[in-house]
Amino acid sequence: MTRRAAATLRTATDLIEHGLASPENLSALEKVAARYAVAVTPEVAALIDSSDPDDPIARQYVPSADELVTQPNENADPIGDHTHSPVSGIVHRYPDRVLFKLVHVCAVYCRFCFRREMVGPGKETALSNEAYASALDYIRTHPEIWEVILTGGDPLMLSARRLKEIMDDLGAIDHVKIIRIHTRVPVAAPSRVTDETVAALKVNDATTWVALHANHPRELTDEARAACARMIDAGIPMVSQSVLLRGVNDNAATLEALMRGFVECRIKPYYLHHGDLAPGTAHLRTTLEEGQKLMQSLRGRVSGLCQPDYVLDIPGGHGKAPIGPQYLSRRSEDAEQQYRVVDYCGDVHLYPPAD
């Protein structure tokens, strides 16, 4: 039985005491926790149905002995952040935008995190003042940077006061027009999204966007929805990002409910990420074919407003690629210039139609 948590659960023993893991797994879970950070907030713990051994919320947050198995193709830096890091805290992969990694802590630690070797207590926790100043200088001296994406760790773990200083620093750079914040806090610790936080996110001379990370419709609780509404009502537009995860959201009904939930919250579905090759995460990854099939069924079930892009971060730091499925193909290589196009039911038509 789950015992209500009063504080964030951070150890295997905490999880066992609160009915979220079984005592026979203690030693394996301690090994996992020694390598990858663990944190389950009271709000997330309350969402877990501990009577369900396959609970989709537990699979995202409660460690598993499967994480001790690293596949040969898995990598501590699966999307190649290091390759594109000119100064500490900055990843400059595309010409017009940078990632700005301010903190290395999160409210919760996701079992599939692609930065799992870099986030958590005991890792570097925040940029030093000097490193922060150098990162800001880098942005200042690169006029091609139009968008700064605050990520981490979770930027909403910063105090409202610190967040405001950072937002003001970025807003003061003429060429920075967009500041995007990637966060799981509205889901994992919604009460952190206070009026002060929301006020801190708004900045003169730049537009703030917030990208919410959620993977299952049950994560969109009334409290999470209210936290998002506080930002959106203040004029901050939101998009979503989700990771396709085996046993969590790898079926059409769950994905449909998740995407509908986002749109109901005024959050535009943006990305559905294919699981990255992070160490010890193979048990949570689907195949690309499964992902494409799910995207195809989503197209038949929900409107365009509810459609995310299914994307793969190409290992080695080569950026994101939309990975289909494809709806259009050349009929043949002849001169006729006719195409095959697939409708939402999967039926194939010719374009232009044959006479």
Residues at the contact surface with ligand SF4, assessed by CB under 6 A: 106, 109-110, 113, 115, 119, 152-154, 184, 213
Helix or strand or coil: residue 280? coil
Q: In the bound complex, what is the minimum distance in angstroms from residue 281's beta carbon to ligand SF4?
A: 11
Q: Which is nearer to ligand SF4, 139 or 188 (CB)?
A: 188
Note if 94 is an active site residue: yes
Q: In the bound complex, what is the minimum distance in angstroms from residue 174's beta carbon to ligand SF4?
A: 30
Note if 228 is an active site residue: no
CA 241 to chain centre: 5
Note if 93 is an active site residue: yes
Note if 192 is an active site residue: no
Q: In the bound complex, what is the minimum distance in angstroms from residue 143's beta carbon to ligand SF4?
A: 29
Note if 59 is an active site residue: no
Note if 347 is an active site residue: no
Q: In the bound complex, what is the minimum distance in angstroms from residue 305's beta carbon to ligand SF4?
A: 25
State both tokens at 26.
């203690």
Q: Which is nearer to ligand SF4, 285 or 299 (CB)?
A: 285
Q: Which is nearer to ligand SF4, 242 or 296 (CB)?
A: 242
Q: In the bound complex, what is the minimum distance in angstroms from residue 351's beta carbon to ligand SF4?
A: 40
Name the nearest CA neighbour of 208 among 243, 170, 246.
Answer: 170
Q: In the bound complex, what is the minimum distance in angstroms from residue 110's beta carbon to ligand SF4?
A: 3
Note if 276 is an active site residue: yes
Q: Which is nearer to ligand SF4, 60 or 208 (CB)?
A: 60
State both tokens at 241.
């990002």
Alpha-carbon span 94 to 153, nearest angstrom: 21
Alpha-carbon span 329 to 130, nearest angstrom: 53
Query: What are the beta bridge partners of residue 126?
Result: 103
Contact 280, 68 (CB under 8 A): yes
Given the residues 10, 31, 94, 202, the one annotated as active site: 94
For residue 326, what are the CA distances in angstroms to 224, 239, 296, 329?
Answer: 34, 24, 9, 8
Contact 315, 80 (CB under 8 A): yes
Q: Which is nearer to ligand SF4, 78 or 217 (CB)?
A: 78
Contact 22, 2 (CB under 8 A): no
Note if 306 is an active site residue: no
Given the residues 320, 327, 331, 339, the one annotated as active site: 320
Q: Which is nearer to ligand SF4, 112 or 138 (CB)?
A: 112
Name the nearest CA neighbour of 152 among 119, 127, 117, 196.
Answer: 119
- Spatial neighbors of 96 by CB under 8 A, at least 6 apart, are 144, 145, 146, 147
Q: What's the number of CA atoms in the CB half-sphere (13 Å) around residue 206? A: 27
Helix or strand or coil: residue 6? coil
Active-site positions? 93-94, 97, 106, 110, 113, 115, 276, 313, 320
